[in-house]
């Protein structure tokens, strides 16, 4: 008989220790009765003859096959008998197999009745195979049926896991004395199987079967049985019901069986042995083993059921008389011991102080080294060189410490997160002076973010404008770089137009003023900054609004400084889908007209209340620039304008702003106006309400012919990779740096 038992190393050692111990303890069976059968120790109330087992219950009658040297319970092999209320047997597996040669199925179902013994909860019902399901039926105290299903949807490569892929398991209830195991298959195995043409089901003790994805699916039929734990108890009454008539012997106690019927016995604390035998529970000599906790073995004294080893305070153990004596404090031995103890304690404390001081110095030195490494890793040297070479800075960039940032964000608590995106996570921070700031933390392990981090500090250091988000400082001594900005309270323009704040509609006066502020800011960046700056990612998600709805242009991670002697700069294309300049996309040449195009799209959003790119819209209105152009060409511009802002008093201003937006989005950059001109025209609309003469007609079709081809650009752009903006979850196009 081949038995497959997979045991953890710890369980194996416990089993070996238990076997060795039962060989040492005498009186495990009745006097004159066999105490072993083969390698199995027989413990009363079990026995192999009428005079050797508990006579009132035939369940305890076992059979020893001397030829095979094997112990049996009702023709079932027994592998372990204990007086703790458990009996371990070997239970056959059940299987159903398809024979391709005879085109037939052969099977073997396991059915077993256990008399007064019942199944333990230490067993698991297990099924192994592909396209397999199995049922377990148990009867006794209460009838119970259960099952599980095992499939091989993917190759079961993980050993030890029995969770449905090639193997499944379910728990077994306690208390039933009859069980039946039946496996089935969803198929008739007429197709070639990847692993085996058999399905298996069996009961097994917890920890005795570890699923092997390769071996078990192919060869489990070679295994005939697994260990199963059965619970046993004496009679059907509780300890209270039987009173003093229980069979628990000296130095033992009665306790109700865990299986819900009958009782069991156990030795008192400090005793061990078989509690069902007279003198079966013997005192444990803790002092001759490692079971005592005395500081010195010589002070340990064994007692019946326990031990003692320590004299009361103020007493000393006399090793001669083994008695505790009052300590004489004038005894030179005591004084010498006290002096030695005091000196040792002081010396130990001094050593601890020295070690602590050295550790603090080493930790400080290590932290300083790590901060310097992070400074270099985050491009600190590069940043300092760039700042010193970029001309006079207009912003006083403060250097924050790691501890200060951690305190400001409450340890980077999740409740402080304002937004997450491609460039990192933005936290709300509170500085020691109670001022609120926004702290941008780059993604961990993304080396490409260092260059954008440096670029943003470099660009913002050249800007001092009331409509640009102010950079307060940065932190370079952390594992990832950190930027600290002024905190803008009212979200982004995108939120107000399309997002969480869209129900707080902006009036035309608000929208016109925001357009004027953004246009003036871009004009400043292009013409008035110490070094011309192209923002390169102008969009409503990068325009913040404060409590007064004043616009603040943000996110300069993609911006570029343009040398004074150049009008354009060759770069890899980077920007946001829907706002990206078609000419820049096709040529890779970046100039200020690229920002003009993006601003035109923002102005269209302010006029229409629609997103720059909306996949949910029909094809003809999916791209705002296309939709704006075609509506103008077909004399239905009023369909595009947001109905919440237009009335008979501001129609001319809105249509004039629409004309400016169309001019900004011309396909050829040279035909677009400069940001200075745009800012002046928008300002004129606010001051004079109508500076231009309104003809009453829509622009001529030739005015919007320049927009043809944007659909092609959008289609091309959709194949590029997309991630998210650093402050809001806004989809952007990133061809340069994976931003």
Which residues have a Cβ under 8 Å from the Cβ of 666 and sit 6 or more positions away? Answer: 672, 706, 707
Helix (H) or strand (E) holding 99: strand 94-99
Picking from 115, 69, 64, the residue whose alpha carbon sits closest to that of residue 230 is 115
DSSP string, 481-518: -EEEEEPPTT-BHHHHHTSTTTTSPPPHHHHHHHHHHH
Are the CB atoms for 174 and 258 separated by under 8 Å?
A: yes
Tell how far CA 168 is from the center of its chain: 25
Are the CB atoms for 126 and 167 separated by under 8 Å?
A: yes
pLDDT score of 595:
94
In the block, tokens 């009335």 appear at: 647
Domain boundaries, the chain: 1-232, 380-486, 493-734
Give burial (CB, 10 Å; 0-12/13-18/19+) of 370: middle
Query: Average pLDDT per run of 10 along the chain, which is 739 residues long?
Result: 40 40 54 90 91 89 91 92 90 85 79 84 91 86 84 68 87 85 76 68 91 79 85 92 91 90 91 90 83 67 77 63 59 63 88 90 77 68 62 64 89 87 80 90 64 71 84 81 87 86 76 95 86 88 91 81 69 86 91 94 94 80 88 89 86 92 94 94 79 42 40 33 32 34
Instruction: Say which of 57, 92, 537, 595 is annotated catalytic.
Output: 537
pLDDT score of 23:
39
* φ, ψ of residue 604 in degrees (nearest 5): -65, -40
DSSP, collapsed to helix, strand or coil, labels residue 708 as coil
How does pLDDT run across 587-623, given as a tens digit for each residue? 988 889 999 999 999 999 999 989 998 877 777 778 9
Picking from 540, 553, 559, 532, the residue whose alpha carbon sits closest to that of residue 466 is 553
How does pLDDT run across 87-140, given as a tens digit for each residue? 999 999 998 888 777 777 788 888 878 878 889 999 999 999 888 899 988 887
- From residue 196, give the alpha-carbon distance in Å to each of 102, 128, 131, 286: 16, 10, 11, 55
* Signed CA dihedral, 228, 233, 237, 240: sign only: negative
Which residues have a Cβ under 8 Å from the Cβ of 17 and sit 6 or more positions away? Answer: none
CATH of region 380-486, choose from 3.30.1310.10, 3.30.200.20, 3.40.50.300, 3.40.190.80: 3.30.200.20
Are the CB atoms for 597 and 713 separated by under 8 Å?
A: no
CA distance 570 to 65: 93
How does pLDDT run across 133-160, given as a tens digit for each residue? 999 888 877 788 889 998 887 666 666 6
Q: Using H for helix, E for strand and C for coil, what is the string for 339-353?
A: HHHHHHHHHHHHHHH
Beta pairing, strands 144-150 & 271-273: unpaired
Picking from 415, 734, 366, 404, the residue whose alpha carbon sits closest to that of residue 579 is 734
pLDDT score of 259:
83
User: What is the homologous superfamily of the domain 493-734 according to CATH?
Assistant: Transferase(Phosphotransferase) domain 1 (1.10.510.10)
Rg from Cα positions in the chain: 43
* Signed CA dihedral, 7, 11, 16, 20: sign only: negative
CA distance 123 to 228: 6
The single-letter DSSP state of residue 3 is B
pLDDT score of 465:
87
CA distance 503 to 89: 73
Tokens linked to 266: 């156990």
Tokens linked to 520: 């003036």
DSSP string, 212-262: -TTHHHHHGGG--EEEEEEE--BSSS-HHHHGGGS---TTEEEEE-TTSSS
pLDDT score of 341:
82
The reply to whether 734 belongs to the active site is: no
pLDDT score of 554:
86
Tokens linked to 359: 């550790």
- For the chain, give the longest Cα–Cα distance: 125
DSSP string, 139-187: EESS-EEEEEEEB-SS----TT--SSBSEEEEE--SSEEEEEEEEEESS
CA distance 533 to 465: 13
């Amino acid at each position: 008989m081949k038995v497959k038992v997979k045991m953890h190393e710890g369980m194996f050692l416990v089993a070996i220790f238990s076997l060795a111990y039962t060989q040492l303890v005498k009186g495990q069976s009745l006097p004159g009765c066999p105490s072993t059968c083969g390698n199995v120790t027989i413990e009363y109330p079990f026995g192999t003859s009428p005079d050797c087992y508990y006579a009132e219950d035939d369940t305890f009658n076992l059979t020893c096959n001397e030829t095979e040297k094997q112990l049996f319970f009702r023709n079932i092999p027994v592998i372990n008998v204990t007086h703790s209320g458990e009996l371990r047997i070997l239970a056959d597996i059940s299987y159903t197999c398809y024979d391709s040669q005879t085109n037939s199925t052969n099977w073997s179902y396991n059915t077993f009745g256990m008399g007064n013994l019942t199944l333990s909860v230490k067993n698991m019902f297990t099924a192994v195979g592909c396209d397999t399901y199995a049922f377990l039926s148990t009867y006794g105290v209460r009838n119970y049926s259960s099952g599980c299903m095992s499939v091989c949807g993917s190759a079961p490569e993980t050993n030890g896991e029995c969770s449905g892929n090639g193997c499944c398991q379910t728990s077994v209830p306690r208390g039933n004395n009859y069980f039946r195991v039946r496996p089935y298959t969803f198929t008739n195995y007429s197709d070639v199987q990847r692993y085996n043409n058999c399905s298996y089901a069996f009961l097994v003790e917890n920890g005795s079967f570890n699923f092997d994805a390769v071996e078990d699916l192919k060869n489990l039929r070679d295994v005939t049985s697994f260990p199963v734990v059965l619970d046993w108890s004496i009679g059907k009454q509780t300890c209270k019901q039987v009173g003093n008539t229980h069979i628990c012997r000296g130095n033992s106690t009665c306790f109700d069986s865990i299986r819900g019927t009958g009782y069991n016995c156990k030795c008192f604390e400090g005793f061990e042995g078989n509690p069902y035998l007279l003198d079966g529970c013997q005192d444990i000599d803790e002092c001759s083993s490692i079971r005592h906790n005395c500081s010195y073995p010589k002070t340990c004294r064994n007692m019946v059921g326990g031990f003692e080893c320590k004299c009361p305070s103020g007493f000393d153990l006399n090793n001669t008389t083994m008695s505790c004596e009052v300590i004489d404090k004038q005894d030179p031995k005591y004084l010498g011991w006290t002096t030695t103890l005091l000196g040792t304690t002081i010396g130990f404390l001094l050593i601890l102080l020295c070690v602590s001081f050295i550790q603090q110095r080493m930790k400080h030195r290590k932290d300083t080294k790590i901060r310097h490494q992070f400074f270099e890793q985050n491009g600190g040297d590069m940043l300092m060189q760039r700042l010193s070479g970029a001309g006079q800075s207009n912003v006083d960039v403060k250097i924050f410490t790691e501890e200060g940032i951690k305190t400001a964000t409450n340890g980077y608590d999740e409740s402080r997160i304002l937004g997450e995106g491609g460039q990192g996570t933005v936290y709300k921070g509170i500085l020691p002076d109670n001022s609120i700031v926004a702290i941008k933390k780059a993604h961990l392990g993304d080396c490409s973010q260092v260059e954008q981090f440096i670029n943003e500090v470099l660009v913002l250091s050249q800007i001092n404008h009331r409509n640009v988000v102010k950079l307060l400082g940065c932190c370079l001594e952390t594992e990832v770089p950190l930027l600290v900005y002024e905190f803008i309270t009212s979200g982004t323009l995108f939120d107000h137009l399309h997002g969480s704040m869209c129900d707080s509609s902006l009036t035309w006066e608000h929208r016109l003023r925001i357009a004027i502020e953004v246009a003036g800011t871009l004009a400043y960046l292009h013409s008035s900054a110490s070094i011309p700056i192209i923002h390169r990612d102008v969009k409503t998600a990068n325009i913040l609004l404060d409590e007064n709805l004043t616009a603040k242009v943000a996110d300069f991670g993609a911006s570029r400084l343009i040398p004074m002697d150049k009008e354009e700069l060759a770069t890899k294309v980077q920007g946001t889908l829907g706002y990206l300049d078609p000419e820049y996309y096709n040529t890779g040449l970046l100039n200020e007209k690229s920002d003009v195009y993006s601003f035109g799209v923002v102005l269209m959003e302010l006029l229409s209340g629609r997103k720059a790119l909306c996949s949910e819209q029909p094809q003809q209105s999916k791209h705002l620039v296309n939709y704006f152009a075609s509506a103008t060409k077909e004399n239905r511009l009023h369909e595009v304008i947001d109905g919440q802002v237009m009335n008979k008093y501001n129609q001319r201003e809105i249509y004039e702003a629409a004309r400016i937006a169309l001019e900004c989005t011309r396909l050829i950059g040279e035909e677009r106006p400069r940001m200075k001109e745009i800012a002046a025209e928008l300002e004129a609309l606010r001051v004079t309400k109508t500076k231009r003469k309104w003809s009453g007609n829509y622009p001529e079709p030739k005015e919007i012919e320049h927009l043809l081809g944007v659909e092609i650009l959008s289609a091309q752009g959709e194949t590029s990779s997309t991630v998210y903006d650093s402050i809001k979850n806004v989809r952007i196009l990133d061809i340069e740096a994976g931003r």
